[in-house]
Structure 1
């Protein structure tokens, strides 16, 4: 279902990418790059194929958990729908935060952050390895609580669809909406690699989670966002963009001292990796 929801939204996404590219071509031509956009599109197609296959496999796990649900929730109830939306967004926040702080998850998520540009096409820049790193595990508690698995998949897709719209520099601050929702301003901070901004604003739809759990930073007009990752991967080959961190991670695990060191390299914060440009950073430094 997720695949079909996002597929149905694809004409809107593509039209807005074209409109934004035209907008920036008249004002700041460097905001879009043909090769970068094509790379994003290739990564999106690879991700969608892998995701569709993964859901065919794991949906049975969701139904197995659902059989042991805590509550029998009426599927058509507005309260159930609202509860599912809120709970899924909450779990998305923790998935996203974990994806920046646990290297095994970062190995997939780094692909999304690897562009030095931020525009609507950047939202397409996804990894086919998310099912391997375990993204789907974060939604399993929803099935245990009693939300129907196909509805969970649909809400995940809607959440991801919403996030397409925050990958832009063409929209400024949005008044009172900034206090409640993830906005382009908040998400620009998330994609920035500046020391002030890095590893902040993990929100999917609601920014309230970042404010509750101490990960919120407001965009500062005096500190322009610099996009990309520390240890930037230069080039546009989708295969390299997908697997470069997996290769580095397993290489670090092999050269680590003992099995504890190897496991640490798989699950440590990314900036503590042996191959990280700032592997000597202190424990509170989260630069990538």
Structure 2
């Protein structure tokens, strides 16, 4: 396949989610510039940290366009062949799809904090000790290979077209860009009760013991309220951002691979095969009984 044929195939099969996010990149960048100017000299922004975040974000979007075009969309289309019903997109059905996708995102997000295989990817997003718009762009390129898309297959099986499922997810992720900020303190209480807001998401990025593994929602915070994972931001307890075993690096490769390296090192330690494999699905801090090295890995921070 020539480079031109490859480019055409990638474009034709690219999922709506990635193309939508690519189209919004200039708007995301402009909002970060405005926020950085607004908070200049406050320490909320760090040039090195923001550069690392944006490099990771650009790499993530670029790689996912290719991988999703070649593999993910085809897999979702195959699953859709076995859908339960045909669901036409109307304003009402899309609203229902958006709510469903947000719930599936909540399920994924909880899993990403509780299952080490997914945490090894998601930890990249939490490694920044800053909270600003560029932190939202700090994503792992390995999302394309970790199996994240599988969490949204129930919507496809139900009968929604894969393109619309991915578009709903793109809309959800775009909203989440704007909750990564310290600019907005609190919104009117009805909004704070229903939606995930900057205040709620600051809690999610906090490594304070009171804030760890809380507020997993994407657009809505109602799932957290329903399932007991919600915590209010407290004025007397400002979030400390980052992870409990902080990675002090701005190198995108180090930030992407450090937890996978730790995971495979733990799996390589002598012991029964099933216990070695358990590192893949156990919690990030789990260590084998009587393991040679008992020092726990970092505790997940929400994301």
Q: 2:218 aligns with which of 196, 204, 207?
A: 204
Displacement after TM superposition at 1:256 (Å)? 4.9
Q: Indicate whether 1:84 and 2:97 are aligned.
A: yes
Moved more, 195-204 or 127-136: 127-136
1:141 matched residue in structure 2: 154
Q: Indicate whether 1:3 and 2:21 are aligned.
A: no
Deviations 1:190-225 (A, max 9, x none): 000000000000000000000011100000111110
Displacement after TM superposition at 1:74 (Å)? 1.2
Q: Indicate whether 1:234 and 2:234 are aligned.
A: no
1:253 matched residue in structure 2: 267
Q: Which runs of 5+ in 1 are unaligned?
A: none
Displacement after TM superposition at 1:287 (Å)? 7.0
Q: Indicate whether 1:264 and 2:278 are aligned.
A: yes
1:161 matched residue in structure 2: 174
Question: Helix, strand or coil: the match of 1:189?
Answer: helix
Q: In 1, Cα distance between the equivalents of 2:88 and 2:106?
A: 25
Q: In 2, Cα distance between the equivalents of 1:160 and 1:273?
A: 33
Q: In 2, Cα distance between the equivalents of 1:208 and 1:88?
A: 14
Question: Helix, strand or coil: the match of 2:39?
Answer: helix
1:102 matched residue in structure 2: 115
CA contact (8 A) 1:107 1:245 kept: yes
Number of equivalenced pairs = 281
Q: In 2, Cα distance between the equivalents of 1:3 and 1:141?
A: 20
CA contact (8 A) 1:186 1:201 kept: yes
Question: Helix, strand or coil: the match of 1:143?
Answer: helix
Q: 1:46 aligns with which of 59, 68, 71?
A: 59
Question: CA, structure 1 residues 97+127, in 2 after alignment: closer, same or farther (shift >3 Å)?
Answer: same
Q: In 2, Cα distance between the equivalents of 1:53 and 1:286?
A: 29
Q: In 2, Cα distance between the equivalents of 1:194 and 1:101?
A: 17
CA contact (8 A) 1:105 1:133 kept: yes
Q: In 2, Cα distance between the equivalents of 1:113 and 1:277?
A: 20
1:14 matched residue in structure 2: 29
1:33 matched residue in structure 2: 46
Question: CA, structure 1 residues 216+276, in 2 after alignment: closer, same or farther (shift >3 Å)?
Answer: farther
Displacement after TM superposition at 1:276 (Å)? 8.0
TM-score with structure 2 setting the length: 0.89
Deviations 1:161-211 (A, max 9, x none): 000000001111101210000000000000000000000000000000000
Question: CA, structure 1 residues 177+287, in 2 after alignment: closer, same or farther (shift >3 Å)?
Answer: closer
